[in-house]
Amino acid sequence: MSFRERCEVTEAEDRKPRSDEARYDPEITSEFAVPAGLGVLKPGGEPETTSEFAVPEGLETPQPPSAEPEGSAFSTPSTYSAKSAPAAFTPAAGVPLVSLVKDAPWQDRMRTMLRMPVTERPAPESVQRTEEGGPAVPRVLDLTLRIGELLLAGGEGAEDVEAAMFAVCRSYGLDRCEPNVTFTLLSISHQPSLVEDPVTASRTVRRRGTDYTRLAAVFRLVDDLTDPETHVSLEEAYRRLAEIRRNRHPYPGWALTLASGLLAGAASMLVGGDLIVFVAAALGAMLGDRLAWLCAGRGLPEFYQFTVAAMPPAAIGVAFALAHVDLKASAVVTGGLFALLPGRALVAGVQDGLTGFYITASARLLEVMYFFVGIVAGVLVVLYFGVKLGGKLNPDAALGISERPLIQIAASMLLSLTFAVLLQQERSTVLWVTLNGGVAWSVYGAMHYVGDISPVASTAVAAGLVGLFGQLLSRYRFASALPYTTAAIGPLLPGSATYFGLLSIAQNEVDKGLVSLAKAASLAMAIAIGVNLGSEISRLFLRVGSAGKRRAAKRTRGF
């Protein structure tokens, strides 16, 4: 091949597009590359490309010594020590000094701290010894929720349930715990520190039952957990809690049925009944109790159970009126109503409202309203048919209640005793609550019958004494106040006002019936507020563990 032909082949190859291999050939440099002759020599003799913003060689500034690696904003300062802590932010009003009395009941101490902000609470002192490395937080929270569930299911107030949950957490050294109680939901949150995620657990109360013996056992467990001299490990606490759940009721079913009958009979004696009325009211209440148990076994809601239980006493009273028997038929119906009125739920609902737990109070009062409507429906059905059949039931018979002080005091004590049995109270508390009920009726009778004072005011004062004595007894025995107060308010329940209001409505005297039902509602509110006020008075004049005592919400002044 000639020289000219070789040149033409070379030019043709140069005009071809370059391949990928040739395009990324390391020997081919970029058009922005620094020419070989313009390189700047480093001190070692190697060329280096410099920037026009580079600092000249003779103008280097000395570098500061390397600082510590940057840490978290929430980490403890290196200069911090417990003895010489740096000054912290103090509110303008200052931080109040909290001095808790060791001898005060744990309920008072926990209520004092629950109303404080988290930052002002004193640090917990671990009462119970825990494993090395700290307590098992999930297990402590689970134990706390289980204890709170038993208390709430037993009818305890929301404030006392929160105090018990808070006491359990602090006894195992958990700080920054916030319990929260509503009608059927329990929750608790624990934040280990400001930089760690909080641990939150919750539990739903599916079933509620009345057993004050179980309630007292749970209070004893919490008292032992908060006692520095009594060591209760987590395993021991779980074992005792399981025993409390498995324990049988202290009274058998037949004793409860007999107690409901005696309660109705004693209530009928309070409103002027005699021995025949006592027996008739007792039989009607026992029959209604058995029918309610039958409905409960079939899975019917409590609304229908109350409706069915209210029918037999009303039916017996109407039967006496139709047979023209010379006795107070109204006393038979009134006695049966005393055994059904939900005084326990009413007192708990009003107490929750007065202590600031409005959601739980609204739910409990709504439950009371449903029960009351069920009782009204059962009694009204029977009274309506009785009036249609020609029964002569006199609504004005309420004005003729005879005054028999000794018999009525004995009947009130029997009513309180049988009410305590129905609430499954411990046998050691039955005597105290019986005496408390007798004192309550004596005060009411002296004010209303002798002093001619309004029945609402008399009921409020008597209920206040019940709450005061119940709170003092609970403080003396380091137990719940419910077993000493709930059964004692039984004689004060507005059974007769409820019955005569329903009878007037059944006889088409709606105005008179509504007035009587309004009186019954007023008496019920007087009972609930009186019991709560008596409890608060006992805390007001007794030292509860802090100079500031329990903090309450301030008045809103209209906004």
Say which DSSP state 499 is in: H
Run of H or E residues at 40: strand 40-41
**What is the per-residue pLDDT across 293-342, written as a single tens digit (0 to 9) for each?**
899 888 888 889 999 998 998 888 888 888 877 677 778 888 888 888 88
From CA 204, how far away is CA 152, in angstroms rounded?
A: 10
Look-up of token digits 């609902």: 349
> What is the model's pLDDT at position 283?
92
Question: Minimal CA–CA distance to 267: which of 326, 343, 212?
Answer: 343
> What is the model's pLDDT at position 84?
47
How would you write 234-250 as a 3-class SS string?
Answer: HHHHHHHHHHHHHCCCC
From CA 219, how far away is CA 242, in angstroms rounded?
A: 14
- How many residues are given for the chain? 559
> What is the model's pLDDT at position 556?
45
From CA 3, how far away is CA 406, in angstroms rounded?
A: 147
Phi, psi of 101 (to 5 degrees): -85, 125
> What is the model's pLDDT at position 34?
57
Buried b (16+ CB within 10 A) or exposed e, 100-139: eeeebbbbbbbbbbbbbeeeebeebeebbeeeeeebebee
Q: Average pLDDT by consecutive 10-residue portion of the chain (559 residues)?
A: 59 54 50 57 52 62 53 45 44 48 60 61 56 70 92 86 88 84 89 80 84 88 84 87 84 88 89 85 91 88 90 87 77 82 80 85 88 86 81 57 79 91 88 91 89 88 89 78 86 79 78 84 85 78 49 47
Q: Residue 100 in 3-state DSSP? A: coil
Q: Residue 186 in 3-state DSSP? A: strand
How many CB atoms lie under 10 A from the CB of residue 446?
Answer: 15
> What is the model's pLDDT at position 57?
67
Phi, psi of 178 (to 5 degrees): -125, 100
How would you write 349-401 as a 3-class SS string?
Answer: HHHHHHCCCHHHHHHHHHHHHHHHHHHHHHHHHHHHHHHHCCCCCCHHHHHHC
Q: Residue 190 in 3-state DSSP? A: strand
How many CB atoms lie under 10 A from the CB of residue 509?
Answer: 15
CA 297 to chain centre: 28
CA 528 to chain centre: 17
> What is the model's pLDDT at position 507?
73
From CA 318, how far away is CA 324, in angstroms rounded?
A: 10
From CA 422, how far away is CA 509, in angstroms rounded?
A: 35
Pairing of strands 185-190, 40-41: unpaired
- In sequence order, what are the residues at sequence separation of 6 or more whose Cβ sits closer than 8 angstroms to the Cβ of residue 406? none
Domain positions in the chain: 106-246, 253-541
Could you tell me if 466 and 485 are in contact, meaning their C-beta atoms sit under 8 angstroms apart? yes
> What is the model's pLDDT at position 68?
47
Question: Minimal CA–CA distance to 393: which of 383, 405, 407, 379?
Answer: 383
> What is the model's pLDDT at position 148?
92
Query: How many angstroms separate the Cα of 117 from the Cα of each of 191, 503, 551?
Result: 14, 53, 10
